[in-house]
Amino acid sequence: MKKIFVLLIAMLPLFVVGQSALESVFEKYSGKDGFTTVNIGPQMFQLLANTNIQVDVDDQEEFDEAMAAMKQLTGLRILTCENAGSDLCLRFRKDIAQNTPKNYLELMTVKDGDSDVKFLANQEKDGTISEFLMLVIDTEDVVLMSFTGVIDMNTISKIGETMQIEGMDKFEETEK
């Protein structure tokens, strides 16, 4: 029994690897007053990707690419703190900064008026991205978005277009 317990403790990091680097931030703020929380699991992406949706012939190729991209995702989580200047949102921003791994690549920063948007990624040795983060800070709210899965930049762009996710337009603009 003791050996099994030691083995389970030793294997614990293997189970944690698949989780978001900001797991503690999501756990701390999800469902709290002042936050909007969205969690989409892999089953929803599979459901969407396998749904027989009719689209215009002109849009079919782009739609098929987006559906194929969704099959690669294992999760999407969004936390939005309203009232960016509040103490709660300031603590949220601090927790994000403290919990974002230093090895994440900063892909891009967009400063547009009162809005700051950062795109960060955890790139694996094979070049794929296992987590893609978007952080939006403006005068109204603070948004943290995390995509997990086997991701490439084209995947992110296609999913952002298809799901019409707020803030993803900043990333899409650079793709063109």
Q: What average pLDDT is seen over the chain? A: 79
The answer as to whether 11 is a domain residue is: no
CA 111-113-114 angle, 5° bins = 90
* 8 is a domain residue: no
Asked whether residue 65 is domain-assigned, the answer is yes
Q: What is the pLDDT of residues 124-135, one digit of tens each?
A: 888 888 999 999
Residue 4 in domain? no
Distance CA(49)–CA(16), nearest Å, equals 27
Over residues 50-100, the pLDDT tens digits come to 777 777 877 778 777 777 777 888 899 999 999 899 999 999 999 999 999
Cα–Cα distance, 161 to 42 (Å, whole number): 19
| Residue 3 is assigned to a structural domain of this protein | no
Output phi, psi for 49, to 5 deg: -70, -30
> Is residue 56 situated within a structural domain?
yes
Give domain status of residue 6, yes or no.
Answer: no
Q: Rounded CA gap, 96 and 68, in Å?
A: 31
Q: Domain span at residue 147?
A: 20-175
Is 7 among the domain residues? no
Return all residues near 47 (Cβ < 8 A) that are at least 6 apart.
Answer: none
**Structure pTM?**
0.74
**Based on the structure, what is the number of domains in the chain?**
1
| Strands (DSSP E) found in the chain | 35-40, 73-82, 105-112, 115-123, 129-137, 141-151
- The two counts, helices (H) then strands (E), for the chain are 7, 6
Reported as a single tens digit per residue, the pLDDT across 44-64 is 878 877 777 777 877 778 777
